[in-house]
Chains A and B, each alone.
Chain A
Amino acid sequence: MKIVAVTACPTGIAHTYMAAEQLEKTGRKLGHGIRVETQGAMGIENALSAKDIKEADAVIMAADIAVQNSERFTGKKIIETSVQEAIKHPEAVFGRLGKD
């Protein structure tokens, strides 16, 4: 599958990037194509393009705060989870893709 994701944690210094790393690692391991946008203290990095989103089969939002520009994802299949979950149980997060 082609997956896109956004991570966003309160302070935006560490956990945002850890969650991104976990999602990327796990996604690749499971054989998915994955691109993760981080929203942190340095601003938005690795921003998802309109093309990325259009081609994506699902969107993972691992966030403890409001995600910026979330209207981009209207109409897409969205899996919402916390930053903690993405860090501690990334496989379970991807597991939710199969359901429905």
Chain B
Amino acid sequence: MTRISFSFPLANGLHARPASQLREACQRVAARVRFRNQRNRTCADADSVLELVASGTLKDDPCFLEVSGPQEHEAARALRIFLNRELPHADDDAPPLAAPSSGSAWLPPLFQDGAARIWPGLTIAPGLGRARAVHWQKSAPLPQRFAAGKNDAKKELRLFRNACREVESDLKKKAAAGQERNAVAIIKAHLAILADPGFRERISGLIAKRKKSAGQAIGETTAHYARILKKSPSVYLRERVGDLEDLAYQLGEKLYGPSQAKARRPLSAPCIVVAESLTPSELLGLERRYLRGLVLGAVGLTSHTAILARSLGIPAVSLPHAGLVRIDEGSEILVDGRRALAILSPGAALKRYYRMEKTTAGKRRQQLALLNRRPAETRDKVRIEIAANIAGPAELGLAWRSGAEGIGLFRSEFLFLEREAPPSEEEQYDSYQQAARSAGKRPIIFRTLDIGGDKPLPYLALPLEANPFLGYRAVRFYNEHADLVCCQLRALLRATAGSGRLKVMVPMVTTVDEVRRVRRLLSEAMAGLRERKVAIARHIELGIMVETPAAALSIDSLAREADFFSVGSNDLLQYTMAVDRGNTALAGLYDPLHPAFLRLLLQVARQARKAKRWLGICGEMAGKIETLPLLASIGFAELSMTPQRIPEAKERLAQLDSGECRDLLRRALRCAEAAEVSALLAEFNGRGASGEVISADLVRLDSSCRTPAEAIKELCDRLELNRRLSDSLALEEAVWKREQTFATDLGFGFALPHAKSAAVRTASIAFLRPARPMRWSGSSRSVVRGILLIAVPENGGDEHLRLIARLSRQLMHEDFRLALLSAPNAGTVLAALRARLAGG
């Protein structure tokens, strides 16, 4: 037996996703593998995802893989590579797991009046909903539901297997029935548990050896795993319990007939369902058109119920247990997924406030949708394409939905891995054509096979190497396996016949000769297809990935053979810094902000520009929002990243000025260390943007706002919709805190709410004239006809502060005040403000 020891690298512990990857890696090797956690002394068969997850393994736990079998040494080597290279990145593309947001404890003064009962909780799913409360009746807890059966083990085993088959068939039908994407993922998770050898063995064991009934065995097994998961300090693992219980109910229903839950009255009017807990199936069973929101007991953010609520767009808030009991059936309740509140019987003023929020939320959604569709560009209108890296056609939908303008990297390995024989030309053609058709006019760059000794393939006998990453991989073996490569090229040429355009790139290039060789293979492929009289793309571009230092330093010569370049920053950084990115001991060195790396990138960009070749970048660095200002000025025509990052990248790009970014780059290049560059970036990113403090959208006349609460909200919302704020709630809080120190109405019919906040991106002024004058602070008898909101960023430049100081002084002059209060339209107000700001 060979033992491999390692420290578990993932922040979320050994949950389902890495557990399945670990299981797959173990299945690829010809050996038996057992997993052991040294800290909590659990062990698991690496074949069972459930057992692996149930081990309760957390980050930094000392673990072992025990490998046995005739080829255990080779197997151990392959597994070591998996543990170093792949396992640490199992969660990379997963959406960032934010902690459940509890909203600020602070609320505007408005929330303090009236008979409303306000409960702070945790946001499970965003959104706003207001309707009558309906309590959800929960069926009895699990273990009691399963009756003891007659002790006929054979019969109970048969009943169990039948129930499994039926549930499996039901689930597969549901998955195929075109359900919403997350519902499908959840159904697949249930199928995985059902098929899990650990799960089945334990239940069968209880039936056969301990004479339990099928129902009891299922109940006990579920409880066993649930206990383990619930005890885990990892929130993520705790939240998987819902899936187990859901599956147990489904099996129970097959064994004992439909559960009480089916006897529930269907929803018949808009309502907010109040429940201590809800399984995913129960949520899916609710009549969606009447469901306006959910108030739940303790529910985890990553539980499938929460994920479903989010993807179905159902606002949901979780309250501590006691809160649920005090909600009367039928009472009006408001769920605020933004502030994380459940509000019972809101009064008229609160209802008005929330109606405004609903309108603003609608506008926010529209804006996001628009942003998705618009091409990405900087504030000064410099275009930089934002594209997606994907690993197969399954991710195309997500890429387009996230607003990708193209696919900067279509990884083709999914077609080649985990199979005995290579994929046929037809099979490849199907996948590539699906991608090409889905892309339509949008550019899509396919990467040819990028594989090495770390991922052994039976049909591609690559030699065993001490160091596969400096070894015989990717383009280096193309000559030896020319047939394989030609087959892929033929499939690509055919698949893009429709769009007429093929962009294909070669990984791991170090010499010009390699590119020439691939061109020859490409010509061969084209000739073959012409002979077969098959249609192919007319416009063909052969590019290369720049991921070796040699390539980075010879762009001029490579440009003679390559039509375009795309920087693979992951590998290029590894080779440049001489660091294995999987080696946690060296994590500090794997930093793209090292000035040497930036200089290298700049050189690549300069040479590419000189040679008039298109240059993109498709490594992890492209998706790091903080480094965007640097990437934007180095000279990349395209940044390709994981789809989840795209909306934020577009948003951030729109705030950047390319001149300022170039300036930042110049300063970054003068730094000696990554830490200095990082500090520069932090200061730059924390700064407010420059630009005009006022604009037409920030002037609102004849507003229906009746109270200071509404006026301040309206003004903060406007600033947010105009991208001048990252979070209107943060500014609202800052403004109110200032307001409560000293009221800002100055007499003269004006109020001047203002604040400094980290949420402010660029210093701004917004003006509101209510249709009817309003009373500002409670005690004063002054009435306010004009409200000017001033918002400045945390590290704002003096330039803006000066403008605002000037404007404030001008407000002390009656003629200016009169101009603002009596201007016939927003245009006149804007002109008056601009004139005074300019010193006129």
Q: Do A10 and B738 touch across chains, with their CB atoms under 8 A apart? A: yes
Q: Do B746 and A40 touch across chains, with their CB atoms under 8 A apart? A: no
Q: How far is the CA of A44 from the CA of B744 in the complex (A)?
A: 22
Q: Do B755 and A14 touch across chains, with their CB atoms under 8 A apart? A: no
Report chain B residues within 8 Å CB of A87.
746-747, 812
Which stretch of A18-26, A50-58, A91-99 is in the interface?
A18-26
Find residues 20-47 in chain A having any chain B CB closer than 8 Å to their own CB: 20-22, 25, 38, 40-42
Known: A25-B812, A84-B742. A14 touches B752 (CB 8 A): yes
Which of B741, B755, B792, B809 has a CB less than 8 Å from the CB of A18?
B809
B805 within 8 A of A: yes
Report chain B residues within 8 Å CB of A16.
805
Which of A11, A21, A22, A64 has a CB less than 8 Å from the CB of B754?
A11
B734 and chain A: residue at smallest CB distance:
A11
- Interface residues as binary, A65-100 with B (CB distance below 8 Å gives 1, 0 otherwise): 000000000000000000110011000000000000
Report chain A residues within 8 Å CB of B804.
13-14
Known: A13-B790, A42-B801, A87-B746. A18 touches B756 (CB 8 A): no
Known: A41-B792, A64-B742. A14 touches B808 (CB 8 A): yes
B798 within 8 A of A: yes
Q: How far is the CA of A55 from the CA of B805 in the complex (A)?
A: 28
Q: How far is the CA of A38 from the CA of B738 in the complex (A)?
A: 19
Q: Do B808 and A15 touch across chains, with their CB atoms under 8 A apart? A: yes
A14 and chain B: residue at smallest CB distance:
B808
Which of A14, A42, A88 has a CB less than 8 Å from the CB of B802?
A42
Report chain B residues within 8 Å CB of A9.
742
B805 and chain A: residue at smallest CB distance:
A17
Q: Do B798 and A42 touch across chains, with their CB atoms under 8 A apart? A: yes
Q: Do A14 and B754 touch across chains, with their CB atoms under 8 A apart? A: yes
Find residues 731-750 in chain B having any chain A CB closer than 8 Å to their own CB: 738, 741-742, 744, 746-747
Q: How far is the CA of A23 from the CA of B294 in the complex (A)?
A: 57
Q: How far is the CA of A10 from the CA of B746 in the complex (A)?
A: 15
Distance in Å: Cβ of B356 to nearest Cβ of chain A: 25
Known: A42-B801, A87-B746. A21 touches B738 (CB 8 A): no
Q: Do B741 and A21 touch across chains, with their CB atoms under 8 A apart? A: no
Known: A13-B792, A40-B805. A21 touches B812 (CB 8 A): yes
Which of A22, A42, A88 has a CB less than 8 Å from the CB of B805?
A42
B349 within 8 A of A: no
B811 within 8 A of A: yes
Report chain B residues within 8 Å CB of A41.
756, 792, 796, 801
Distance in Å: Cβ of A11 to nearest Cβ of chain B: 6
Which of A15, A21, A22 has a CB less than 8 Å from the CB of B752?
A15
Which of A10, A14, A20, A88 has a CB less than 8 Å from the CB of B790?
A14
Q: Do B805 and A11 touch across chains, with their CB atoms under 8 A apart? A: no
Find residues 771-825 in chain B having any chain A CB closer than 8 Å to their own CB: 790, 792, 796, 798, 801-802, 804-806, 808-809, 811-812
Q: How far is the CA of A14 from the CA of B765 in the complex (A)?
A: 12
Report chain A residues within 8 Å CB of B756.
11, 13, 41
Q: Do B809 and A21 touch across chains, with their CB atoms under 8 A apart? A: yes
Q: Do A13 and B742 touch across chains, with their CB atoms under 8 A apart? A: no
Q: Do A17 and B808 touch across chains, with their CB atoms under 8 A apart? A: yes
Distance in Å: Cβ of A8 to nearest Cβ of chain B: 12
Q: How far is the CA of A22 from the CA of B813 in the complex (A)?
A: 9
Which of B746, B792, B808, B809 has a CB less than 8 Å from the CB of A88?
B746
Which of A11, A18, A38 has a CB less than 8 Å from the CB of B746?
A18
Report chain A residues within 8 Å CB of B811.
18
Report chain B residues within 8 Å CB of A14.
752, 754, 790, 804-805, 808
Q: Do B738 and A11 touch across chains, with their CB atoms under 8 A apart? A: yes
- Identify the interface centre among B752, B792, B801, B808: most chain A CB within 10 Å of its CB: B808
Known: A13-B792, A14-B754, A87-B746. A22 touches B798 (CB 8 A): no
Q: How far is the CA of A38 from the CA of B806 in the complex (A)?
A: 12
Q: Do A17 and B790 touch across chains, with their CB atoms under 8 A apart? A: no
Q: How far is the CA of A14 from the CA of B789 in the complex (A)?
A: 11
Known: A10-B738, A15-B752. A20 touches B809 (CB 8 A): yes
Q: How far is the CA of A40 from the CA of B808 in the complex (A)?
A: 13
Distance in Å: Cβ of A25 to nearest Cβ of chain B: 7
Which of A13, A20, A22, A83 has a CB less than 8 Å from the CB of B801?
A13
- Identify the interface centre among B756, B796, B802, B809: most chain A CB within 10 Å of its CB: B809
Q: Do B746 and A21 touch across chains, with their CB atoms under 8 A apart? A: no
Q: How far is the CA of A49 from the CA of B805 in the complex (A)?
A: 22
Distance in Å: Cβ of B435 to nearest Cβ of chain A: 53
Report chain B residues within 8 Å CB of A17.
805-806, 808-809
Report chain B residues within 8 Å CB of A13.
754, 756, 790, 792, 801, 804-805, 808
- Identify the interface centre among B742, B744, B812: most chain A CB within 10 Å of its CB: B812
Report chain B residues within 8 Å CB of A42.
798, 801-802, 805
Q: How far is the CA of A84 from the CA of B751 in the complex (A)?
A: 12
- Interface residues as binary, B584-623 with A (CB distance below 8 Å gives 1, 0 otherwise): 0000000000000000000000000000000000000000
B812 and chain A: residue at smallest CB distance:
A21
Distance in Å: Cβ of B730 to nearest Cβ of chain A: 15
Find residues 410-446 in chain B having any chain A CB closer than 8 Å to their own CB: none
Q: How far is the CA of A36 from the CA of B216 in the complex (A)?
A: 85
Distance in Å: Cβ of B716 to nearest Cβ of chain A: 16
Report chain B residues within 8 Å CB of A18.
746, 808-809, 811-812
- Identify the interface centre among A9, A14, A17, A21: most chain B CB within 10 Å of its CB: A14
Distance in Å: Cβ of A65 to nearest Cβ of chain B: 10
Q: How far is the CA of A17 from the CA of B289 in the complex (A)?
A: 55
Q: How far is the CA of A16 from the CA of B754 in the complex (A)?
A: 13
Q: Do A21 and B808 touch across chains, with their CB atoms under 8 A apart? A: yes
B806 and chain A: residue at smallest CB distance:
A17
12 residue pairs from A and B, CB less than 8 Å apart? A9-B742, A14-B752, A17-B806, A18-B809, A18-B811, A22-B812, A40-B801, A41-B796, A41-B801, A42-B801, A84-B742, A87-B747
Q: Which 7 A-B pairs have the closest CB atoms?
A: A21-B809, A14-B808, A21-B812, A17-B805, A17-B808, A88-B747, A18-B808
Known: A13-B754, A13-B804, A14-B754. 9 other contacts (CB 8 A): A13-B756, A14-B790, A16-B805, A17-B809, A18-B811, A41-B756, A41-B796, A87-B747, A88-B746
